[in-house]
């Protein structure tokens, strides 16, 4: 029953404004209860989230270190690949001028012999033997260069049995080629063998040589080898003459 007393509305003896105040406060009580429940739930879930985040944080340094290791390994393999890679003929542009000029001028005795015999269309044993002697001296020089490369302190080539022994082999081949005075073909083949073996040592066995030196050694060895082969071809197809007979 609603009754009016002193200008105020009363429901069942309770003022209307108190009823409205309770109705408006009821949702606030529920929201506070919900917030309390949510806070308790969050506090219960926080350790699990912290542990998960801690795990993620503990994993991140491992990933970064693993990536650094992979990066360092890739750099190491790249460096090893570059050291094992051979060279390029473009590296000749980086060669010092004295080494470049002296190296290619050393081909003159190799090339002059077959050119002279080809122009006269005759094979001269004395000229061929002079070419053979020069080739043997170059082979011996290459072996001595490797010996000198292994001796200084801090050299990448250690003065062990392999490096020093391989340096002696070209000198022995040069001596064997000089014994073939009466057979130019056999002596030339021994010199070619010594040039190829020396090039193999310089490119694969001994580390530390610059790329321009490897490129120059390759070009010089190929030209010297072709000059000796040209002399052998002239010996086979051209008439043999002796310089003494021509002078007489």
Q: Which residues form the domain of 46?
A: 2-62
Evaluate whether residue 208 is within a structural domain: yes
- How is residue 108 written in tokens? 């003159």
The more confidently predicted of residues 199 and 71 is: 199
d(CA 37, CA 43): 10
pLDDT (0 to 100) of residue 83: 43
Evaluate whether residue 44 is within a structural domain: yes
Evaluate whether residue 48 is within a structural domain: yes
d(CA 228, CA 93): 27
One domain, residues 52 and 152: no
SS3 210: coil
Evaluate whether residue 77 is within a structural domain: no
pLDDT in tens, 95-107: 999 999 999 999 9
CATH code: domain of residue 177: 1.20.140
One domain, residues 117 and 235: yes
pLDDT in tens, 154-203: 888 888 898 888 899 999 999 999 999 889 999 999 999 999 999 998 88
One domain, residues 119 and 194: yes
Percent of the chain with pLDDT over 90: 44
Domain total for the chain?
2
The pairing of strands 14-15 and 8-11 is antiparallel
pLDDT in tens, 204-242: 876 678 889 999 999 999 999 999 999 999 999 999 988
Evaluate whether residue 68 is within a structural domain: no
One domain, residues 127 and 233: yes
């Amino acid at each position: 029953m609603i009754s009016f007393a002193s200008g105020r509305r009363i429901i069942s003896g309770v003022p209307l404004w108190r009823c409205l105040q309770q109705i408006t406060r009821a949702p606030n009580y529920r929201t506070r209860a919900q917030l309390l429940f949510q806070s308790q739930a969050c506090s219960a879930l926080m350790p699990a989230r912290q542990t998960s985040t801690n795990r993620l944080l503990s994993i991140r340094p491992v990933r970064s270190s693993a990536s650094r290791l992979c990066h360092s390994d890739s750099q190491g393999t790249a460096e090893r690949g570059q050291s094992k890679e051979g060279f390029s003929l473009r590296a000749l542009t980086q060669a010092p001028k004295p080494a470049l000029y002296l190296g290619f001028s050393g081909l003159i005795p190799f090339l002059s012999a077959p050119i002279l015999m080809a122009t006269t269309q005759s094979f001269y044993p004395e000229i061929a033997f002079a070419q053979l002697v020069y080739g043997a001296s170059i082979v011996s020089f290459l072996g001595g260069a490797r010996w000198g490369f292994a001796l200084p302190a801090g050299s990448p080539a250690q003065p062990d049995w392999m490096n020093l022994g391989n340096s002696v082999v070209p000198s022995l081949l040069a001596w064997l080629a000089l014994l073939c005075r009466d057979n130019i073909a056999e002596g030339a083949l021994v010199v070619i063998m010594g040039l190829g073996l020396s090039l193999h040592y310089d490119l694969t066995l001994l580390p530390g040589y610059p790329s321009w030196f490897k490129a120059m050694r390759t070009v010089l060895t190929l030209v010297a080898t072709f000059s000796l082969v040209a002399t052998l071809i002239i010996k086979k197809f051209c008439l043999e003459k002796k310089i003494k007979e021509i002078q007489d």
